[in-house]
Structure 1
Amino acid sequence: MAGDLLDNQGRGEAGWQWPSIHPEGRKFGAIAGALAAVFFLFGVGIIGWPLAGLTAGILAFFRDPERVVPQDDRAIISPADGQVSMITQVDPPAELIGEDGTGAPGLIPGQVTRISIFMSVFDVHINRAPISGSVRRLVYIPGRFLNADLDKASDENERQHILIERSDGLLIGFTQIAGLVARRIIPFVKPGDMVASGQRVGLIRFGSRVDVYLPAGTSAKVMLGQRTIAGETVLAELGEQKLLEGVSQ
């Protein structure tokens, strides 16, 4: 299915398939699986069974399913699976504003809409590019490991800012934030790389959050509490500002 073109008129072929396991998780799964096998071999099932369950959990955490990415220049795609935990007006991080010393532009100062997506340990943790373009910045900042659902986690937790510039000059910044359990943010890209919308750009191990900063004049197309799917859910359409209301049921 990878690379296939599908549309809303029924073109293409789709079918369920087992998601692959990202290489970053295979080593952890192999270690847990080997330990489980050793305890089973010596007849210590009371330890072997929990380790077997841990192995399954690790492999599930690092699952990397294929996604059908909308091909629309107006669309800003969700970089993360999870729940929309906050939608608020904020100033973008200082690391994403203005020039960075190389002459490359950054985000313009001033308040914009920030969409925060919280990822639990049950969500897919592969993060994807919200637009196509060139990676202009990748800034890692060490920090604390507060609950990623807290607003102050954006400023105090370990995090990594990414800025992507589209060919027409549009800039989108987003931030990977470590949480209580997360202990490592792993990038798949570096400054200068070209990425496609929905392309895998990194992962955060074991529970975390992603903040997306929308361009001025653009509001969220998702609602507070809504579930998002990385590479598929449209977070916003450029230049569109519209009130959306939902009912929890």
Structure 2
Amino acid sequence: MDLGITGKVALVTGGSRGIGRVVAQLLAAEGCKVAVVARTKADIDDAVASIASEGGEAWGVSADIGDQEEVRRAVTEVRERLGSPQIVIGQTKFNIPGDFADITDTDQYVESFRSYTMSQIYLLHAVLPGMKEAGWGRFVHIGSATAKEPVGNIHHAIANATRPSTVGLLKTVSDEYAQYGITINTVAPGWIETQNAVNYLRDNAGLASEDDRREWMRDNARVPAARMGRPDEIASMIV
């Protein structure tokens, strides 16, 4: 299928693993020039090599998008190497589980806000001017379904408190920038079978096998399909 995005520059944060990696692969398959942005160089290099082996064009940048200066540097490097990003996938990972009574260090809420929301502010400031100048842009944030409806049985008071702020921010910016041909959306997955999610269920719910996870999905998470979603199912929709 030709989605009409051939030749566009796509910047994918968290593009070395999980959903982000599959998004990067699919964007490259659509003819985009993909910048894979993540923290760990070895993972970036592996993702870039995988895309190249399938005939795609990709380049890697190591950066922490929770740091404004690193975001500016990364976007500048992408612009100089590939061109101005017109497609941007934004996401971060912040994982401190616990019920409300367990969280005694309240600065962790601030750290979570900085990770989830400030990182997207930094990205938006860095890429929106170029999108506005081009008269076309796509910004997709990979968030979480818990931003809309917190799930009590996974014990994430901090994330449940701070994730909604990112959605509110992006909806506000979306309304302001739609007039320039720019769309800004949040995709909010539930349980997706990334390595991070598998590790979380192993460490926090004692689920060691696929059969254990399927049973838990059916009985605890109330997922009718009795399975976790696949990364490609979310990534294909984003693309």
Larger radius of gyration: 1
Instruction: Report which of the two has the higher share of helix.
Output: 2
Task: With the length of structure 2 as denominator, give the TM-score of the two structures.
Answer: 0.25
- Higher relative CO (Cα under 8 Å, sequence separation at least 6) belongs to 1
Task: With the length of structure 1 as denominator, give the TM-score of the two structures.
Answer: 0.24
